[in-house]
Amino acid sequence: MTASFAWIVATSIATAPLPLAHLQPSAATDSPDVAAIVTEASAAFDAGDFDGAIAAFERAYATKPDPRFLYNIGRIHEEAGQLDQAVVYYRRFVAEPGVELEQRDRASQRIEVLTRIRTSLEPTSPPVPPPRVSAPEAPPQRDDARAGPNAPGRAMRNTGIGLLAGGAAMLVASALTGTFARSTESELQREDNPVRRRDLVDRGQSLALTTDIVMSLGAALAIVGTVLTATGATRMRRARRDVAVQTSGAGLRVRF
């Protein structure tokens, strides 16, 4: 994004994934002090100094508590990949009095999307293995463990199967939300009330976005699960072949 923040303030982040409606430039910069701070924020952002731009908009909001400055700060955090802070400022923007309903709805959609992304990026805790119990030593035997529950590749295969199941569930969920989106579109074609039509358009956009995100995540999980399942199964087959070769060799040695 190369546009200056002076232009972004005038249009309330026209480059946002869900942009707000165009606003009057003088409404956000009617004070010389605020205009100077906005210029400073623009220069900091153009230089890649996200922290400086955020600090400048914080000062602008302290000078003139315009809710759109909070939205701009949220957009900078989102641009910088700081999703937690972006959600905080979007929520502050939504909670401000005097924000138009359409703008509030669009900021709420950004909160919903970023929250889903944050959830999908959170690492899952690995399962805690059970404590090992020491067994008495036994005479050397052939390595049957390579074909048993601890065979190489079994854990990888099981993980792949789990990911495949999760991906399939997400694909089913995306199909459901897609069905709801198409139903909303059909309802929109039959609706004549302008207010109701606007609500249906917002709902349809939100459902379509949700469908895309869930479908993408489900497909990614399914692909990774397929690869892990195939790789684990291959390793298990190799382990069983190794056991068969070792058993055959031991039998030959005994008969000799």
CATH of 5-118, one of 1.25.40.10, 1.20.210.10, 3.40.50.300, 1.20.120.530: 1.25.40.10
Task: Calculate what percentage of the chain has a pLDDT beyond 90.
Answer: 21
Percentage of the residues of the chain whose pLDDT score is greater than 70: 70
Q: Which two tokens stand for residue 21?
A: 């409606």
Cβ-based neighbours of 225, under 8 Å, separated by 6 or more: 159, 160, 161, 162, 163, 164, 165, 166, 167
Residues 32 and 64: their CA atoms lie apart, in Å, by 11
Q: What's the whole-number mean pLDDT along residues 146-169?
A: 78
Q: How many CA atoms lie within 13 A of 208 on its CB side?
A: 11
Per-residue pLDDT of 109-133, as tens digits, reads 999 999 999 888 776 656 666 666 6
Quote the pLDDT of residue 119. 86
Banded pLDDT at 95 (limits 50, 70, 90):
very high
CA distance 157 to 230: 7
CA distances from 175 to 116, 179, 228 (A): 17, 6, 25
Residue 20 DSSP code: P
pLDDT of residue 1: 42
pLDDT at 128: 65
Q: What is the pLDDT of residues 24-74, one digit of tens each?
A: 333 444 577 888 998 898 788 788 899 999 999 999 999 999 898 899 999
Q: What string of DSSP letters covers 213-224?
A: HHHHHHHHHHHH
22, pLDDT greater than 60: no
pLDDT the model gives residue 125: 58
| Mean pLDDT confidence for 175-203 | 86
pTM over cut 0.75: no
Q: What is the pLDDT of residue 112?
A: 93
Q: In the predicted model, what is the mean pLDDT of the chain?
A: 76
CB 144 within 8 A of CB 108: no
Buried-exposed string 73-107: b where 16+ CB fall within 10 A, e elsewhere = bbbbbbbeebbebbbbbbbbbbebeebeeebbbbb
What does the pLDDT average to over 215-242? 83
- Segment 2-14 mean pLDDT: 40
Reduced 3-state DSSP string for 112-181: HHHHHHHHHHCCCCCCCCCCCCCCCCCCCCCCHHHHCCCCCCHHHHHHHHHHHHHHHHHHHHHHHHHHHH
Q: Is 75 helix (H, G, I), strand (E, B) or coil?
A: helix
Half-sphere exposure of 84 (CA within 13 A, CB side): 2
Residue 75: is its pLDDT beyond 80? yes
